[in-house]
Amino acid sequence: MPPEIEAIAEQVFAALADPSRRAVLAALASAGPATATDLAARLPITRQAIAKHLAVLAEAGLVTAEAGERRRVRYRLCSAPMQVAQQFLAALARDWDGPLGALKDHLDREN
Amino acid sequence: MGFPDRIERTVEVAHPPSKVWAALTTAEGLGAWFGNEAKIDLRPGGSAWMTWTNGHRADMRVERVEEPAVFGFTWGIDGLPEDDPRRTYVEFTLEATGTGTRLTVVETGFAQLPEDAHRKAYEGNTGGWASELGELVGYLDAA
Protein backbone atom coordinates (compact mmCIF):
# COMPACT_ATOMS: atom_id res chain seq x y z
CA MET A 1 0.00 0.00 0.00
CA PRO A 2 1.47 3.41 -0.86
CA PRO A 3 2.34 5.11 2.44
CA GLU A 4 1.10 8.47 1.24
CA ILE A 5 -2.51 7.35 0.93
CA GLU A 6 -2.80 7.00 4.69
CA ALA A 7 -1.08 10.34 5.22
CA ILE A 8 -3.51 12.02 2.83
CA ALA A 9 -6.56 10.49 4.51
CA GLU A 10 -5.21 11.43 7.92
CA GLN A 11 -4.82 15.07 6.88
CA VAL A 12 -8.36 15.15 5.54
CA PHE A 13 -9.82 13.76 8.75
CA ALA A 14 -7.67 16.05 10.91
CA ALA A 15 -8.86 19.04 8.86
CA LEU A 16 -12.48 17.94 9.15
CA ALA A 17 -12.21 17.42 12.91
CA ASP A 18 -12.22 21.18 13.46
CA PRO A 19 -15.64 22.87 13.15
CA SER A 20 -14.21 26.15 11.80
CA ARG A 21 -12.24 24.34 9.11
CA ARG A 22 -15.34 22.32 8.24
CA ALA A 23 -17.23 25.59 7.87
CA VAL A 24 -14.51 27.03 5.59
CA LEU A 25 -14.46 23.90 3.42
CA ALA A 26 -18.27 23.80 3.30
CA ALA A 27 -18.37 27.46 2.22
CA LEU A 28 -15.82 26.83 -0.57
CA ALA A 29 -17.67 23.68 -1.66
CA SER A 30 -21.06 25.36 -1.83
CA ALA A 31 -20.18 28.77 -3.26
CA GLY A 32 -16.84 28.32 -5.00
CA PRO A 33 -13.47 30.09 -4.64
CA ALA A 34 -13.37 32.93 -2.12
CA THR A 35 -10.89 35.25 -0.41
CA ALA A 36 -10.26 35.15 3.33
CA THR A 37 -12.18 38.42 3.58
CA ASP A 38 -15.20 36.93 1.74
CA LEU A 39 -15.18 33.96 4.09
CA ALA A 40 -14.90 36.14 7.20
CA ALA A 41 -17.96 38.08 6.02
CA ARG A 42 -19.94 34.88 5.57
CA LEU A 43 -18.82 32.89 8.60
CA PRO A 44 -18.83 33.69 12.33
CA ILE A 45 -15.02 33.50 12.33
CA THR A 46 -12.52 36.38 12.40
CA ARG A 47 -10.45 37.08 9.32
CA GLN A 48 -7.27 36.29 11.26
CA ALA A 49 -8.62 32.89 12.28
CA ILE A 50 -9.82 32.24 8.71
CA ALA A 51 -6.32 33.00 7.40
CA LYS A 52 -4.83 30.58 9.91
CA HIS A 53 -7.27 27.82 8.96
CA LEU A 54 -6.69 28.42 5.24
CA ALA A 55 -2.95 28.02 5.80
CA VAL A 56 -3.54 24.66 7.51
CA LEU A 57 -5.90 23.56 4.73
CA ALA A 58 -3.44 24.64 2.02
CA GLU A 59 -0.65 22.75 3.77
CA ALA A 60 -2.86 19.63 3.70
CA GLY A 61 -3.59 20.13 0.00
CA LEU A 62 -7.31 20.66 0.63
CA VAL A 63 -7.36 24.19 -0.78
CA THR A 64 -5.11 25.98 -3.24
CA ALA A 65 -4.42 29.68 -3.41
CA GLU A 66 -4.98 31.28 -6.78
CA ALA A 67 -2.42 33.78 -7.96
CA GLY A 68 -3.25 37.32 -6.96
CA GLU A 69 -2.12 40.20 -4.80
CA ARG A 70 -2.25 39.70 -1.06
CA ARG A 71 -5.68 40.08 0.54
CA ARG A 72 -7.25 39.40 -2.84
CA VAL A 73 -5.96 35.86 -3.07
CA ARG A 74 -8.83 33.49 -3.66
CA TYR A 75 -8.85 29.98 -2.23
CA ARG A 76 -10.29 27.02 -4.07
CA LEU A 77 -11.31 23.61 -2.74
CA CYS A 78 -9.24 20.62 -3.91
CA SER A 79 -11.28 17.47 -4.25
CA ALA A 80 -8.48 14.91 -4.77
CA PRO A 81 -7.59 14.41 -1.07
CA MET A 82 -11.33 14.12 -0.27
CA GLN A 83 -11.58 11.30 -2.80
CA VAL A 84 -8.75 9.46 -1.08
CA ALA A 85 -10.54 9.84 2.24
CA GLN A 86 -13.72 8.59 0.55
CA GLN A 87 -11.92 5.34 -0.33
CA PHE A 88 -11.28 4.84 3.37
CA LEU A 89 -14.90 5.59 4.21
CA ALA A 90 -16.09 3.28 1.42
CA ALA A 91 -14.14 0.40 2.99
CA LEU A 92 -15.71 1.10 6.38
CA ALA A 93 -19.17 1.44 4.85
CA ARG A 94 -18.91 -1.71 2.74
CA ASP A 95 -21.46 -4.12 4.15
CA TRP A 96 -21.00 -7.74 3.08
CA ASP A 97 -22.67 -9.19 6.17
CA GLY A 98 -26.07 -7.84 5.12
CA PRO A 99 -25.98 -9.15 1.53
CA LEU A 100 -24.52 -12.53 2.57
CA GLY A 101 -27.31 -12.93 5.12
CA ALA A 102 -29.80 -12.06 2.37
CA LEU A 103 -28.15 -14.64 0.08
CA LYS A 104 -28.58 -17.35 2.73
CA ASP A 105 -32.23 -16.43 3.18
CA HIS A 106 -32.73 -16.42 -0.58
CA LEU A 107 -31.21 -19.90 -0.98
CA ASP A 108 -33.28 -21.29 1.89
CA ARG A 109 -36.47 -19.81 0.48
CA GLU A 110 -35.88 -21.52 -2.86
CA ASN A 111 -36.09 -24.97 -1.27
CA MET B 1 -4.67 4.79 11.42
CA GLY B 2 -4.77 1.66 9.24
CA PHE B 3 -6.31 1.93 5.81
CA PRO B 4 -8.23 -1.31 5.14
CA ASP B 5 -7.52 -2.59 1.66
CA ARG B 6 -9.08 -6.02 1.90
CA ILE B 7 -12.43 -7.18 3.23
CA GLU B 8 -13.07 -10.90 3.56
CA ARG B 9 -16.06 -12.93 4.75
CA THR B 10 -16.77 -16.62 4.70
CA VAL B 11 -20.19 -18.19 5.16
CA GLU B 12 -21.33 -21.79 5.12
CA VAL B 13 -24.56 -22.43 3.28
CA ALA B 14 -26.53 -25.65 3.21
CA HIS B 15 -26.87 -25.75 -0.56
CA PRO B 16 -24.69 -27.21 -3.31
CA PRO B 17 -22.25 -24.96 -5.22
CA SER B 18 -24.37 -25.15 -8.39
CA LYS B 19 -27.27 -23.50 -6.61
CA VAL B 20 -25.09 -20.85 -4.98
CA TRP B 21 -23.42 -20.23 -8.35
CA ALA B 22 -26.78 -19.53 -9.95
CA ALA B 23 -27.69 -17.08 -7.20
CA LEU B 24 -24.38 -15.21 -7.75
CA THR B 25 -24.18 -15.19 -11.52
CA THR B 26 -27.68 -14.84 -12.95
CA ALA B 27 -29.86 -11.77 -13.26
CA GLU B 28 -32.65 -13.62 -11.44
CA GLY B 29 -30.35 -14.53 -8.55
CA LEU B 30 -28.62 -11.15 -8.17
CA GLY B 31 -31.92 -9.34 -8.48
CA ALA B 32 -33.44 -11.47 -5.73
CA TRP B 33 -30.93 -11.22 -2.87
CA PHE B 34 -28.44 -8.47 -3.75
CA GLY B 35 -30.13 -5.79 -5.84
CA ASN B 36 -33.79 -5.33 -6.65
CA GLU B 37 -33.14 -5.75 -10.35
CA ALA B 38 -30.08 -7.01 -12.18
CA LYS B 39 -28.66 -7.82 -15.56
CA ILE B 40 -25.48 -9.72 -16.32
CA ASP B 41 -23.46 -10.73 -19.36
CA LEU B 42 -21.63 -13.68 -17.79
CA ARG B 43 -18.23 -13.74 -19.48
CA PRO B 44 -14.90 -12.10 -18.68
CA GLY B 45 -15.21 -8.50 -19.83
CA GLY B 46 -19.00 -8.69 -19.81
CA SER B 47 -20.97 -5.97 -18.10
CA ALA B 48 -23.49 -6.29 -15.34
CA TRP B 49 -25.57 -3.95 -13.27
CA MET B 50 -27.82 -3.98 -10.25
CA THR B 51 -30.34 -1.37 -9.22
CA TRP B 52 -32.11 -0.82 -5.94
CA THR B 53 -35.54 0.65 -5.33
CA ASN B 54 -33.88 3.55 -3.47
CA GLY B 55 -32.29 4.69 -6.74
CA HIS B 56 -28.83 3.28 -6.04
CA ARG B 57 -27.14 1.62 -9.00
CA ALA B 58 -23.99 -0.51 -9.25
CA ASP B 59 -22.24 -1.13 -12.56
CA MET B 60 -19.92 -4.11 -12.68
CA ARG B 61 -17.47 -5.61 -15.12
CA VAL B 62 -17.23 -9.40 -15.01
CA GLU B 63 -13.60 -10.52 -14.65
CA ARG B 64 -13.48 -14.22 -13.75
CA VAL B 65 -15.99 -16.94 -14.56
CA GLU B 66 -14.94 -20.42 -13.51
CA GLU B 67 -18.17 -22.29 -12.94
CA PRO B 68 -18.96 -23.31 -10.26
CA ALA B 69 -15.91 -22.24 -8.24
CA VAL B 70 -14.81 -18.64 -8.90
CA PHE B 71 -16.77 -15.55 -9.90
CA GLY B 72 -15.02 -12.18 -9.92
CA PHE B 73 -16.01 -8.67 -10.93
CA THR B 74 -14.85 -5.09 -10.46
CA TRP B 75 -16.99 -2.12 -9.59
CA GLY B 76 -16.52 1.52 -8.69
CA ILE B 77 -15.75 2.80 -5.22
CA ASP B 78 -18.75 4.41 -3.51
CA GLY B 79 -18.40 8.15 -3.29
CA LEU B 80 -15.87 8.56 -6.08
CA PRO B 81 -16.87 10.16 -9.39
CA GLU B 82 -18.25 7.75 -11.98
CA ASP B 83 -15.29 8.21 -14.32
CA ASP B 84 -12.71 7.65 -11.59
CA PRO B 85 -10.36 4.87 -12.71
CA ARG B 86 -10.15 3.30 -9.24
CA ARG B 87 -12.27 0.18 -8.79
CA THR B 88 -12.37 -2.58 -6.23
CA TYR B 89 -12.22 -6.25 -7.19
CA VAL B 90 -14.76 -8.63 -5.69
CA GLU B 91 -14.16 -12.36 -5.88
CA PHE B 92 -16.53 -15.10 -4.74
CA THR B 93 -15.00 -18.53 -4.18
CA LEU B 94 -17.25 -21.57 -3.78
CA GLU B 95 -15.98 -24.77 -2.18
CA ALA B 96 -18.12 -27.86 -1.84
CA THR B 97 -18.33 -29.14 1.72
CA GLY B 98 -19.98 -32.35 2.93
CA THR B 99 -23.18 -30.49 3.66
CA GLY B 100 -23.22 -27.65 1.18
CA THR B 101 -20.94 -24.81 0.16
CA ARG B 102 -18.30 -22.70 1.84
CA LEU B 103 -18.65 -19.30 0.19
CA THR B 104 -15.89 -16.72 0.57
CA VAL B 105 -16.10 -13.16 -0.67
CA VAL B 106 -12.97 -11.03 -0.86
CA GLU B 107 -13.06 -7.39 -1.89
CA THR B 108 -9.71 -5.67 -2.47
CA GLY B 109 -8.48 -2.33 -3.71
CA PHE B 110 -9.85 0.20 -1.21
CA ALA B 111 -6.34 1.44 -0.45
CA GLN B 112 -5.09 1.59 -4.02
CA LEU B 113 -3.46 4.76 -5.16
CA PRO B 114 -2.28 4.19 -8.72
CA GLU B 115 0.28 6.93 -9.06
CA ASP B 116 -0.63 8.03 -12.55
CA ALA B 117 -4.35 7.44 -12.21
CA HIS B 118 -4.41 9.52 -9.06
CA ARG B 119 -2.40 12.27 -10.65
CA LYS B 120 -4.64 12.21 -13.70
CA ALA B 121 -7.74 12.40 -11.54
CA TYR B 122 -6.14 15.17 -9.52
CA GLU B 123 -5.12 17.24 -12.53
CA GLY B 124 -8.43 16.54 -14.20
CA ASN B 125 -10.30 17.86 -11.22
CA THR B 126 -8.14 20.82 -10.37
CA GLY B 127 -10.04 23.08 -12.74
CA GLY B 128 -13.26 21.32 -11.83
CA TRP B 129 -16.48 23.19 -12.24
CA ALA B 130 -14.77 26.54 -12.61
CA SER B 131 -13.09 25.53 -15.88
CA GLU B 132 -16.17 23.70 -17.14
CA LEU B 133 -18.28 26.76 -16.45
CA GLY B 134 -15.59 28.86 -18.13
CA GLU B 135 -15.88 26.66 -21.20
CA LEU B 136 -19.65 27.01 -21.17
CA VAL B 137 -19.34 30.80 -20.99
CA GLY B 138 -16.84 30.74 -23.88
CA TYR B 139 -19.18 28.56 -25.89
CA LEU B 140 -22.17 30.80 -25.25
CA ASP B 141 -20.15 33.92 -26.05
CA ALA B 142 -19.02 32.44 -29.37
CA ALA B 143 -22.55 31.36 -30.36
Distance of alpha carbon A78 from its chain centroid, rounded?
A: 9
In terms of domains, do B23 and B55 share one? Answer: yes
Task: Say whether A5 and B13 touch across the interface (CB within 8 A).
Answer: no
CA dihedral of A52, A70, A76, A86, whole degrees rounded to 10:
-30
Mean pLDDT along residues B39-45: 98
ipTM: 0.78
Statement to judge: residues B107 and B137 lie in one domain: no
Q: Do B86 and B136 belong to one domain? A: no
Instruction: Let me know whether B90 and B61 are in one domain.
Output: yes
DSSP assignment of A18-53 = SHHHHHHHHHHHHH--EEHHHHHHHSSS-HHHHHHH
Please report, for the domain that includes residue B88, its CATH number: 3.30.530.20
Kindly state whether residue B1 falls inside one of the protein's structural domains.
Answer: no
Query: pLDDT band for position B122 (50/70/90)?
Result: very low
Enumerate the residues of chain A whose CB falls inside 8 A of the CB of residue B3: 1, 5-6, 9, 87-88, 91
Domain with B118, as residue range(s), is 113-143
A contacts of B1 (beta carbons < 8 Å): 6, 9-10, 13
Second CATH level (architecture) for the domain A3-109: Orthogonal Bundle (1.10)
On whether both B43 and B98 belong to a single domain, the answer is yes
Residue-wise pLDDT for A42-88, tens only, equals 999 999 999 999 999 998 899 999 887 777 899 999 988 998 899 99
Residue among A55, A107, A74 nearest B94 (CA)? A107
Q: Is B15 in Cβ contact with A94 (below 8 Å)?
A: no
B22 and B87 belong to one structural domain: yes
Look up the pTM and report it. Answer: 0.80
Nearest to A87 among B33, B111, B126 (CB): B111
In a domain, B105, yes or no: yes
Q: B133 at the A interface (CB within 8 A)?
A: no
Domains in chain B, number: 2
Chain A residues within 8 A of B111 when measuring between CB atoms: 1-2, 5-6, 87-88, 91
- The pLDDT assigned to B119 comes to 53
Beta carbons of A100 and B20 less than 8 angstroms apart = no
Domain boundaries, chain A: 3-109
